[in-house]
Chains A and B, each alone.
Chain A
């Protein structure tokens, strides 16, 4: 009787193993299906003309140039605002404050902000940047909104990177008569930098793909020019993709797929650069 129970248990256990295995790999499979489908639909439209033309009512003439340049503008400005503020805030909270009630409250606040839907950030941008600051639908308003959106992510990953630096390094520096900032600048930041950089790239990758906040602040969906300055109107890759995907014609759907390929390529490029820089930095630190 014992052995029959055992056989049953083994059979069930094997079935379960198979189930988990299948499920886990089906995630990989579906990723493959998704990428294949997008490529299949969009690759035909992907050429130099596509990258240099503006959107048009005629699919054959449509291109993604304004969206691509707009995205580049957006990311540059977003990085300009969010990276220093995010790292600064992370430094302050992790190195210059003690674990008291106030800090716990701030921590809670930041982790809540990380979970707020992006469209709510869009509302924030609309009311504060577009209306109150009177920035209208400019790249500046868009990048300020995006910066606030990804700020919690940068702060959290900066703090984790700082926490990973062993405390013995700080103690050694203090024992030599260094001030807090001298210690952080010379030893803690360099050691934490690979982790901080990874967090920044992750945050910016997220920002590149976000659409809803930009729609809220009024980034136009049909833009046939590129921004000349931060106060200009703009569009961005995800918005253009959304625009094309929302049209009923099959050809526009295919254009959307091509746009997606461009977007995915940009993301891939960014992450590869990040991995590369991180490897170089870690090699230097050894």
Chain B
């Protein structure tokens, strides 16, 4: 029997027997107040995330709306000449968009097969010792700042390719695209690998029991089962590539051009924004406001892609629960 010394909080057992009524009361003590305060502080922290989205939308709109009052949206979205600073002015954004698409397509062409094959290797083939080298290497690749990739594209990849293709300009879409592919391989690979690891072992074992080779199990059983997760991985990688700034600024060039030739120098949406920020374009003019319009376009594109892939990922997670 635990006998407590005389304390305010505890009735001694003898007292309890004599006064069996325990009167509960809502203590408005310091503790209840503390609890409330903590809740409020934490709530405001969570509020910051909502405010951030509001902030982004507001800051883009405040300048983009005046811009679209000056420039017709139709001209903006369908024009093929982008020359907001040099006279004659033209505000067709398509060259920037094609510049982005060109680089991103090259990046996807590299990252999707390589990322998927790496993921298959890691999830279906690799012995533990190899995993312990390959996975950390991928994580390091993922952590390298993008300026480093830009530097690498400009000072290593371009000269190397010029050995084979002497027509290659110093600033070109090819090097930037290839290195950007390298940059997003870790993301594509790890997300695909997660999707494949979520496929239950029993599915693989059933296929093996029927005499399938490892390749057949990977390609015909695991990948199809993990497909929505893998596709989501591709899409997220592409979204990241679209939003990438420094790599293309350093290596792809500053000449907006409506072309799909990777050997030429182009300009992406993101690189354009950097160029204007570093320049002396007077703030408040239409030319300056272009960066907000382009940012808004960028934001809408990446947001749509992310929402879409989020829905896809949700579907893949539900299937196995």
Chain A–chain B contact at Cβ < 8 A: yes
Residues of A within 8 A of B (CB): 9-10, 12-13, 16-17, 19-21, 23-28, 30-31, 33-34, 37-38, 41, 84-89, 91-93, 96, 106, 108-113, 115-124, 126-128, 148, 151-152, 155, 179-181, 205-206, 208-212, 215-216, 218, 221, 238, 241-242, 245-246, 253, 256-257, 260, 263-264, 267, 271
Chain B 224-259, CB within 8 Å of chain A: the 1/0 string?
000000000000100110111110011000000000
Q: Are B50 and A106 in contact, CB atoms less than 8 angstroms apart?
A: yes
**CA A90 to CA B46, docked complex, whole Å:** 7
> With A17-B125, A112-B303 in contact, is A212–B270 under 8 Å at CB?
yes
Q: CB within 8 A of B59: which of A88, A92, A128, A256?
A: A128
Chain B 24-35, CB within 8 Å of chain A: the 1/0 string?
000000010011
Q: Which residues of A are found within 8 Å of B63, using beta-carbon distances? A: 127
Q: Are B213 and A117 in contact, CB atoms less than 8 angstroms apart?
A: no
Residues of B within 8 A of A (CB): 31, 34-35, 38-39, 41-46, 48-50, 52-53, 55-56, 58-60, 62-63, 113-114, 117-118, 120-122, 125-126, 133-134, 137-138, 140-141, 143-148, 150-152, 154-156, 182, 185-186, 189, 213-216, 218-219, 236, 239-240, 242-246, 249-250, 270, 273-274, 277-278, 291-292, 295, 298-299, 302-303, 305-307, 310
Q: Are A263 and B302 in contact, CB atoms less than 8 angstroms apart?
A: no
Q: Are A20 and B117 in contact, CB atoms less than 8 angstroms apart?
A: yes
5 interchain pairs, CB-CB under 8 A: A23-B121, A38-B148, A116-B299, A151-B48, A238-B145
A44: min CB distance to chain B, Å: 15
Q: CB within 8 A of B151: which of A26, A27, A116, A241?
A: A241
Main secondary structure of the interface of A (DSSP, over half): helix
Once A and B bind, how many residue pairs between them come within 8 Å at the CB atom?
Answer: 240
**CA A37 to CA B53, docked complex, whole Å:** 40
B10: min CB distance to chain A, Å: 12
Q: CB within 8 A of A257: which of B43, B48, B151, B273?
A: B151
Q: Which residues of B are found within 8 Å of A151, using beta-carbon distances? A: 48-49, 52
> With A37-B156, A38-B148, A111-B310 in contact, is A126–B59 under 8 Å at CB?
yes
Q: Are A109 and B53 in contact, CB atoms less than 8 angstroms apart?
A: yes
Q: Are B150 and A242 in contact, CB atoms less than 8 angstroms apart?
A: yes
> With A9-B216, A115-B236 in contact, is A89–B31 under 8 Å at CB?
no
Q: Which residues of B are found within 8 Å of A205, using beta-carbon distances? A: 143
> With A13-B214, A34-B152 in contact, is A96–B121 under 8 Å at CB?
no
Q: Are A23 and B147 in contact, CB atoms less than 8 angstroms apart?
A: no
B220: min CB distance to chain A, Å: 12
Closest 7 CB pairs of A and B: A117-B243, A209-B145, A88-B45, A127-B59, A92-B42, A13-B213, A20-B121
**CA A181 to CA B156, docked complex, whole Å:** 55
Q: Are B60 and A241 in contact, CB atoms less than 8 angstroms apart?
A: no
Q: Are A119 and B270 in contact, CB atoms less than 8 angstroms apart?
A: yes
> With A116-B56, A119-B243 in contact, is A28–B133 under 8 Å at CB?
yes
> With A88-B46, A181-B34, A205-B143 in contact, is A119–B126 under 8 Å at CB?
no
